[in-house]
């Protein structure tokens, strides 16, 4: 893990503030994780805000499972981070992972009513999107 990745992983805000001026916001580690992916996965809300504020992060970069920061935050029950990412109006809510699951399909299968509601409120969700088995969220 590189310095920026470690700072994000542990939520070290001061280090992130210093490093956020570098060109490494979208650098990947051996798991294809970017700093934003790590921050979303760990639920570091302040760190996510810092990274988004740089304007230099690609909000939809995917990890080795083809999951975005939004997916990572929802999967790990970090609803405040989910709200932050959705509030940017830049996330692709219909992005698919390695199993062709959209976040809506995944949250329906896992019965996360809060995130389901947040996703539906965006009015951008494709409720008819199918996974590799032809299943839809409905």
**At a CB cut-off of 8 Å and minimum separation 6, what does 50 contact?**
13, 16, 17, 20
Q: What is the pLDDT of residues 21-47, one digit of tens each?
A: 555 566 766 677 888 998 999 999 988
Higher pLDDT, 18 or 59: 59
Q: Tell me if 98 is assigned to some domain.
A: no
Q: Tell me if 49 is assigned to some domain.
A: yes
Indicate the pLDDT class of residue 103, thresholds 50, 70 and 90: very high
Q: Tell me if 121 is assigned to some domain.
A: no
Q: Tell me if 128 is assigned to some domain.
A: no
Query: Virtual CA dihedral for 133, 86, 72, 40, nearest 10 degrees?
Result: 170
Distance, CA of 133 to CA of 12 (rounded, Å): 41
What is the tally of structural domains in the chain?
1
Indicate the pLDDT class of residue 1, thresholds 50, 70 and 90: very low
Q: What is the pLDDT of residues 48-98, one digit of tens each?
A: 998 898 888 899 999 999 999 999 999 999 999 999 999 999 999 999 999
Residue-range definition of the domain harbouring residue 31: 3-91
Cβ atoms of 51 and 39 closer than 8 Å: yes
Cα-based angle 15, 29, 25 (whole degrees, multiple of 5): 45
Residue 36: which CATH number?
1.25.40.20
């Amino acid at each position: 893990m590189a310095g920026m990745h470690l700072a994000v992983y542990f939520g070290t805000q001061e280090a992130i503030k210093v490093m956020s001026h570098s060109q490494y916001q979208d650098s990947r580690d051996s798991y294809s994780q970017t700093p934003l992916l790590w921050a979303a996965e760990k639920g570091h809300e302040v760190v996510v805000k810092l990274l988004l504020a740089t304007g230099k992060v690609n909000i939809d970069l995917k990890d080795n499972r083809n999951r975005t920061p939004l997916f990572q935050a929802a999967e790990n029950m970090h609803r405040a981070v989910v709200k932050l990412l959705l509030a940017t109006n830049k996330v692709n809510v219909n992005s698919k992972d390695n199993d062709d699951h959209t976040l809506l399909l995944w949250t329906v299968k896992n019965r996360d009513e809060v995130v389901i509601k947040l996703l539906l409120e965006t009015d951008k969700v494709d409720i008819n999107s199918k996974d590799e088995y032809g299943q839809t969220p409905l």
